[in-house]
Amino acid sequence: MKKYLIALASVAGLMTALPASAQFQKPEQAIKYRQAAFTLMGSHFGRVAAMAQGKVPFDAKVAAENADILNTIAKLPFTAFGEGTDKGLPNRAKPEIWKESAKFKDAADKMIGEVAKLDAATKSGNLDQIKAAVGTVGQSCKACHDNYQAEKAG
């Protein structure tokens, strides 16, 4: 049992020490992972955005729950854009992601920061603040899509 625990601890240590891309055995897995994360982000952001836009009645608790989930998921997809994950499954990631990786990271960090502000706004329950934060989150999604998402999967 002790040996097993030591082995487990060293594997866990290794996993955190390795670059995130090395946590996927195959490019397909990284592509599926990031696509799944973006799909979930769209669902959870969409629920808050619909309230901000008056398309569904505002429910502060539901907004806060969805923003909280979004705040966690928004940090996930960017571990799955490692080198060599441009191909393996049809996907819409443009080559610029890897050519200008610092700019891509800045855009991702910007979105993550705006999502954190949306999460804080929903916790305050102030609809005007939520509306403003939904706007800036949406802009940060769009900025990345405009620069880094192809029209068609290649």
Interface residue list for ligand ASC (CB under 6 A): 42, 45-46, 49, 138, 141-142
Closest separation in Å from C-beta 125 to ligand ASC = 21
Element (H, E) at 154: none
Smaller CB separation from ligand ASC, 23 or 136 = 136
Give the span between the Cα atoms of 105 and 75, in whole angstroms.
11
* Cα–Cα separations (whole angstroms), residue 37 to 3, 34, 57, 70, 98: 35, 5, 26, 10, 19
- Residue whose pair of structure tokens reads 């899509």 in the numeric block: 145
- Smaller CB separation from ligand ASC, 27 or 107: 107
β-sheet bridge partners, residue 131: none
CB of 149 to ligand ASC, least distance (A): 9
Least distance to ligand ASC, CB of residue 110, Å: 13
Question: Residue 8: which residues within 8 A CB-CB, separation 6 or more?
Answer: none
Toward ligand ASC, which CB reaches closer, 13 or 46?
46
Burial 110-119 (b: 16+ CB within 10 A, else e): ebeebbbbbb
Q: Nearer Cβ to ligand ASC, position 27 or 73?
A: 73
Minimum CB separation of residue 115 from ligand ASC in Å reads 11
Q: Cβ atoms within 10 A of the Cβ of 92, count?
A: 14
The CB-of-117 to ligand ASC minimum distance in angstroms stands at 16
- Give whichever of 24 and 119 is closer to ligand ASC, judged by the CB atom: 119
